[in-house]
Amino acid sequence: MKGQVADTTLTGPVHALDVPAVADSVGADPAIGLSRAEAARRLVADGPNELASTPPKTWAQRLLEQFASPLVLLLLAAIVVSLIAWWLEDASEVPFDAVAIATIVAVNAGIGALHERRAEKAVAALQEMAAAQAGVIRDGHYERIPARDVVVGDVIVLDEGDAVPADARITESRALAVSEASLTGESTAVRKTTSAVEEDTPLAERTSMVFAGTAAVAGHGRALVTATGMGTEVGTIATLLESTERQPTPLEREIAAVGRLLGMAVLAIAAVVVGAIVVVSDIDSAGDVVEVLLIGVSLAVAAVPEGLPAVLSIVLALGVQRMAGRNALVRRLSSAETLGSATVICTDKTGTLTRGEMTVRELLVNDQRVDVTGTGYGPEGELRVDGVRANGEVLALVRGALAAGALASNASVRLEGDRWVAVGDPTEAAIVAAAAKAGVTRHSMAALHRLDELPFTAERRRMSVLVAPTEPVTDEPMVFTKGAPEVVLDRCTHEQTTEGPGVLSADRRDWWREGVDDMAGRAMRTLAVAGRAHPATRLDDESEVGLVLYAVIGIIDPPRDEAAPAVADAQGAGIRVIMITGDHPATARQIAADLGIGDPDAQPVVGRSLEDLDQDALAGVAATTSVFARVAPTHKLQLVEALQARDEVVAMTGDGVNDAPALKAADIGTAMGIAGTDVAREAADLVLTDDNFATIVAAVSEGRGIFHNIRSFLRYLLSSNVGEVMTMFFGVVLAGVIGLTAEGEAVIAPLTAAQILWINLLTDTGPALALGVDPVHPGVLRQPPRHRGERVIDAAMQRGIALVGFTMAVVTLLMFDAKNPGGLIDGTSDVDTARTAAFTVLVLAQLFNCLNARSDDASAFHRWAVNPWLLLAIAASFGLQVLVVYLPALNEAFGTAPLSLADWLWSTVLASAVLWVSEARKLVARRRRQLGTSDPGPDPGGRGS
């Protein structure tokens, strides 16, 4: 394994050790670092500071994966049987059956390999997170080296904007703040100190450590590297990602079950029919044996829906394209349907439900609460008091307070493209943005320059700056202080009012404290801003006393505007929304309450409390809790697995490195495309290109539409193939009854293998594809999600398939008997004409079945013209059948003969029986439902048909 971890097994975790103990553990001097020779030795011994990765799969490997489906294996077996029969028969012509089936299998494999790229690049994306360069101290001197050459024991130097190349113990901090949102989910920058923390401190609160893949946003510091490569916290996530198996989707499991069922059915039916032929026929030559084998092949061809894998892939691909048009990119075809089956959405908070941008929400000044509109770091927004735009004296107070806060900050904002971004600490950037909304910009304060600074530290919990006019004037320099309200308030003796500084009495202090508590109770981070004139040119502790309190500022990472409606839509669709975040419980609770997630009075469950729960207890907590806070990556993974153990279909959304294992383990992982990390995107099945939680609901709608369409074409394909199987089965078993014999032949089949394959190619492709693009009905979101254990092909659908298949067989054989001499109805045509008429009846019956198959209970005449592609496919299939009947070349290839107009009329009338029988069954089902005697609800897709 690449990378190394400090040897602290005897003394405890490095975050809980003091600096000398950590230095002893890694064998390095925090002052001068490692020698270059020692660093080189360690690099050779431990390997580079990078994450292990697996080689990407080749196209050949991806193609081979497509043949693992039982249905595809069944088709491959049909190819082998067809080739054997072709060789035994003559082998002088092209093996049309085998070539056609092989072509379909190859097309399906190509489509699957093209669209179903697995997430094998997830670890490679993690590796790209490492900083390209790192500043280190070696032999007492500062130098820049490639981040992959950092080793345990190196002293790294961190400045504002630097990426952290490895996990390290802080040895020196001057207001060092690190953004760890992508690793822990913490929305605010974490201030780092040299003080050790308790052993059981959660990852998000280990202020004595910095971690690979995070970035310094403020201050300066040094740290002693304690872990590199796979030994880092990011490496731990990479290990989880490698060991997390992706579960097959419900659709994949169902199609595999269909393939196994069809395989057993083919073997059983072929054995029965071939056995019956051997018993009732005179098999006395090799030619008779070949003929029996050809009938067996015909049965195999009839039983297997050759087009199903390809049609399934194409329909999913078309659905994926529609989702892409709605800003949802699907990376794995079968996942498109799974999202429509989701019963739970586990969502991250920071950057998913919220904007991931700190924003000043309100200020307290001079007995007034001033609301600040607008979100993010842009200048758009205004200041309001009681809903009215602030002006006059109140506006002057707010401008003064925000100007002081902006001056006492090191952050800035800038426009990148069409988006404002923070440069430096996000909290300070939020104050700068709020000042711009009040008309106070860096440009307007350009006449002031900074003389001195007392930086923010965890011990001081405040920052002060001394500023003075650039030009010599009579005004004294000013000290401006911002920090924790309880700290700043204790150093204030006055408060700013519209009439100037006023004495800060005990009652007024209580008023300010109550305001701070109110903001904190609404999940805001609070900062107090104060200042006073300062005659000296340097700052010390005494400079921060006797201050005038200007304002208390409330800052929050606000919910996205569209998040609350999206949550409501998801819940209306029967989908439970669970927030799983690494942020503070109070913040998580308030955001959840704002968005309508869970019980607003319930306390969030903290991730640490999950560690002592057994599997049953964890499943119980997952079933009843909607908000989880301070959650580590392993906790997210455990929660997803606990929900899946309760047969929930889990969609997991997230954007950070910490979300990747849970994204991969979930039934459908959904990553943010803009704010999301490469790791999250590569581990996910679905990527939202607009980072909009509402897009998930749109994708659910599309997913449910895809599922309805899959049911439609499965209903159509399987009922059609059952009709073909029954036609062949009863045609052989009842050959003597319907006159299905010919002089000199042991037995003949009602249809040839070529005709059966033509039917499958003709009706199982165009019409099935057209059923796959039925428009999604808006009412699909008003239906409850499909349960994990619910079959795609349920009992009602099975009964409908059997009834339609039986009806097809009856009318097909009836037409054959009516045209063929002998049997129950003595016809006058030859065998080829009788077979052509029966062949045509079966084709037309399947075209009528297109309209019937759109729903299990809705009438075929309900919005029958809503899908023009289906009508076009029916017309095209009918036209091709006409060509097969009348073109001499096709007559020769398929053993057909021209039909009369009367034959066409009778074929149409008999074939339409499929439609009328189904309409009668659906009518009975609807009446029973209205009377309350049928448990199943109506087919959701039926109302959309």
| 280-295 pLDDT per residue, tens | 666 666 656 666 766 6
Tokens of residue 558, six digits: 């606000």
CB 849 within 8 A of CB 914: yes
Q: What are phi and psi of 235, to 5 degrees?
A: -60, -35
CB 183 within 8 A of CB 206: no
What percent of the chain is modeled with pLDDT above 90? 30
Q: Which of 86-100, 155-169, 207-221, 905-919 comes out lowest in average pLDDT? A: 86-100
Question: If residue 262 lies in a helix (H) or strand (E), which one and from where to where?
Answer: helix 250-280
> What's the mean pLDDT when you consider all of the chain?
81
CB 750 within 8 A of CB 728: yes
Beta bridge partners of 413: 422
Question: If residue 407 lies in a helix (H) or strand (E), which one and from where to where?
Answer: helix 392-407
Tell me which residues are annotated as active site: 348
Q: How far is CA 939 from CA 58, 899, 936, in A?
A: 42, 40, 9
Q: How far is CA 120 from CA 62, 69, 126, 528, in A?
A: 11, 20, 11, 49
Q: How far is CA 489 from CA 261, 395, 467, 514, 552, in A?
A: 75, 22, 21, 12, 10
Q: Any idea what DSSP says for residue 56?
A: P
Taking CA 75 as the corner, what is the angle to CA 71 and CA 79, rounded to the nearest 5 degrees? 165
- Give the pLDDT confidence score for residue 943 in this predicted structure: 34
Q: Which among 853, 826, 692 has a CA at the least distance from the CA of 771? A: 853
CB 458 within 8 A of CB 194: no
Q: Which of 166-180, 488-502, 644-658 comes out lowest in average pLDDT? A: 644-658
CB 127 within 8 A of CB 147: no
The Cα–Cα gap between 718 and 731 comes to: 19
- Give the pLDDT confidence score for residue 826 in this predicted structure: 77
CB 145 within 8 A of CB 136: yes
Which residues are within 8 A (CB) of 544 and not within 5 positions of it... i.e. 6 or more apart? Answer: 454, 462, 464, 479, 481, 491
Q: Any idea what DSSP says for residue 329?
A: E
Residue 578 has pLDDT above 80, yes or no: yes
Over the stretch 889-945, which tens digit does the pLDDT of each residue have? Answer: 888 878 899 999 999 999 999 999 999 999 999 888 888 877 764 444 444 444 333
CA 14 to chain CA centroid, Å, is: 36
Average pLDDT over residues 41-49: 91
Residue 365 has pLDDT above 70, yes or no: yes
The Cα–Cα gap between 291 and 180 comes to: 73
What percent of the chain is modeled with pLDDT above 70? 79
Which residues are within 8 A (CB) of 87 and not within 5 positions of it... i.e. 6 or more apart? Answer: none
The Cα–Cα gap between 633 and 240 comes to: 9
Taking CA 74 as the corner, what is the angle to CA 336 and CA 291, rounded to the nearest 5 degrees? 145
Over the stretch 783-800, which tens digit does the pLDDT of each residue have? Answer: 777 776 667 777 888 888
For the stretch 464-472, contacts whose Cβ atoms lie closer than 8 Å and that sit 24 or more positions apart, written own/partner, are: 464/408, 464/539, 464/543, 464/544, 465/407, 465/408, 465/539, 466/534, 466/536, 466/537, 466/538, 466/539, 466/543, 467/407, 468/537, 470/446, 471/447
Q: What residue type is assigned to position 623 of the chain? A: A
Q: How far is CA 439 from CA 398, 421, 426, 528, in A?
A: 10, 19, 20, 20
Over the stretch 840-852, which tens digit does the pLDDT of each residue have? Answer: 999 999 999 998 8
Query: The whole model's pTM is what?
Result: 0.64
Tokens 């497509």 sit at which residue?
A: 66
Q: How far is CA 534 from CA 89, 442, 476, 531, 916, in A?
A: 107, 22, 6, 9, 94
pLDDT band for position 585 (cuts 50, 70, 90): confident
The Cα–Cα gap between 374 and 433 comes to: 10
**Going along 52-161, which residue ranges are E strands?**
133-138, 141-146, 155-159
Over the stretch 667-693, which tens digit does the pLDDT of each residue have? Answer: 888 887 776 665 567 678 888 877 777
Which residues are within 8 A (CB) of 55 and not within 5 positions of it... i.e. 6 or more apart? Answer: none
Over the stretch 729-773, which tens digit does the pLDDT of each residue have? Answer: 888 778 777 777 654 455 567 887 678 778 877 777 788 888 877
Q: Which residues of 709-733 are buried (b: 16+ CB within 10 A; e: fewer)?
A: bbbbbbbbbbbbbbbbbbbbbbbbe
